[in-house]
């Protein structure tokens, strides 16, 4: 049994991301054939100027051509359960049916519990006891697919996840919000950081939704941005002055 830490690697990203999106955008407004647009693509800043206008107008189909794949290692099953709710993503996840936990199972301790030594100790005791019972089941000939039913949400998992750029932006907008749980925020932040290293122009899109909207649409706001209601009041007040 070992406490594990998240790691994320971007294992696949197109080399010609800007040119591909440009070709998709340009084809919508050009008499030329798509491949002519591709071959005659201008320099990056001109391509980006068109791309930003098209994305800004909400023509998101143009960025669906960009596919990204991540190796996501050591996240809790609680976190992967949240991640797999995103229906435009593709997943290949380590199976708890086919992979028998050897010895004791790996786990993720939430940082809020880790900060409290007394509670962290109790958490580890629980993991140890659960691990012992899991092993007892396995040794008694119970299949891993049934023995796993006692494993907690904290059990570590790993997966390969793919998504297109439109979905990555959507994922970031939802899961970088402070209303999302800390672990999935860290995971999505790590994914986004990897992409921004390669494509820095994407930084303004890979943000919590409030930064794109200019206000907070959550029921319980963290206070980072004004809520829609507060903003409307400010605007109305300004209009009456």
Ligand X SMILES: Cc1cc2nc3c(=O)[nH]c(=O)nc-3n(C[C@H](O)[C@H](O)[C@H](O)COP(=O)(O)OP(=O)(O)OC[C@H]3O[C@@H](n4cnc5c(N)ncnc54)[C@H](O)[C@@H]3O)c2cc1C
Q: What's the CA gap between 76 and 97, in Å, rounded?
A: 16
Helices within the chain (DSSP H only): 17-29, 34-39, 44-56, 77-83, 111-114, 117-139, 144-147, 165-175, 182-198, 209-213, 228-240
Residue 189 lies near ligand X (rule: CB under 6 A): no
Nearest Cα neighbor of 11 from 173, 203, 198, 175 is 198
- In sequence order, the 6+-apart residues with CB closer than 8 A to the CB of 73 are 6, 7, 8, 9, 158
Q: What's the CA gap between 47 and 226, in Å, rounded?
A: 34
Q: What's the CA gap between 32 and 23, in Å, rounded?
A: 11
Nearest Cα neighbor of 70 from 187, 181, 208 is 187
Q: Considering the complex, what minimum distance in angstroms separates the CB of residue 181 from ligand X?
A: 7
Residue 212 lies near ligand X (rule: CB under 6 A): no
Q: Considering the complex, what minimum distance in angstroms separates the CB of residue 61 from ligand X?
A: 12
Integer CA distances (angstroms), 72 to 6, 18, 119, 127, 239, in order = 8, 25, 27, 22, 49
Indicate the helix (H) or strand (E) that contains 68: strand 67-76
Binding test (CB under 6 A) with ligand X, winner from 58, 87, 102, 236: 87
Residue 220 lies near ligand X (rule: CB under 6 A): no
Residues 152-181, interacting with ligand X (CB under 6 A): 167, 170, 174-175, 179-180
Binding test (CB under 6 A) with ligand X, winner from 86, 100, 226, 228: 86
Interface stretch with ligand X, choices 40-48, 83-91, 95-103, 186-194 (CB under 6 A): 83-91
Nearest Cα neighbor of 152 from 187, 128, 181 is 128
Binding test (CB under 6 A) with ligand X, winner from 45, 56, 58, 85: 85
Q: Considering the complex, what minimum distance in angstroms separates the CB of residue 162 from ligand X?
A: 13
Q: What's the CA gap between 163 and 90, in Å, rounded?
A: 6
Residues 88-107, interacting with ligand X (CB under 6 A): 88
- Residue 175 designated active-site: yes
Nearer to ligand X, 137 or 215 (CB): 215
Number of amino acids touching ligand X (CB under 6 A): 10
Q: Considering the complex, what minimum distance in angstroms separates the CB of residue 177 from ligand X?
A: 6
Interface stretch with ligand X, choices 23-31, 72-80, 82-90, 225-233 (CB under 6 A): 82-90
Active-site choice (175, 185, 224, 228): 175
Q: Considering the complex, what minimum distance in angstroms separates the CB of residue 191 from ligand X?
A: 14
Residues 17-36, interacting with ligand X (CB under 6 A): none
Catalytic residues, by residue number, are: 175
Interface positions with ligand X (CB under 6 A): 85-88, 167, 170, 174-175, 179-180
């Amino acid at each position: 049994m070992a406490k594990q830490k998240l790691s994320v690697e971007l294992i696949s990203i197109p080399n010609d991301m800007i040119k591909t999106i440009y070709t998709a955008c340009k084809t919508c407004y050009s008499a030329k054939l798509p491949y002519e647009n591709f071959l005659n693509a201008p320099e990056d800043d001109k391509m980006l100027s068109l791309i930003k206008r098209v994305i800004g107008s909400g023509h998101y189909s143009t960025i669906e051509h960009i596919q990204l794949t991540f190796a996501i290692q050591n996240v809790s099953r609680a976190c992967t359960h949240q991640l797999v709710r995103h229906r435009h993503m593709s997943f290949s996840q380590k199976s708890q049916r086919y992979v028998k936990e050897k010895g004791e199972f790996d786990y993720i301790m939430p940082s809020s519990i880790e900060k409290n030594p007394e509670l962290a100790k109790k958490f580890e005791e629980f993991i140890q006891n659960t691990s012992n019972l899991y092993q007892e089941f396995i040794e008694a000939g119970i299949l891993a697919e049934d023995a796993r039913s006692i494993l907690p949400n904290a059990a570590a998992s790993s997966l390969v996840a793919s998504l297109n750029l439109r979905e990555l932006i959507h994922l970031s907008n939802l899961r970088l919000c402070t209303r999302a749980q800390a672990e999935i925020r860290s995971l999505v932040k790590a994914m986004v950081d990897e992409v921004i290293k390669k494509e820095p122009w994407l930084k303004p899109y890979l943000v919590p939704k409030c930064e794109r909207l200019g206000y907070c649409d959550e029921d319980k706001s963290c206070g980072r941005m004004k809520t829609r209601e507060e903003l409307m009041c400010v605007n109305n007040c300004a209009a009456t002055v």
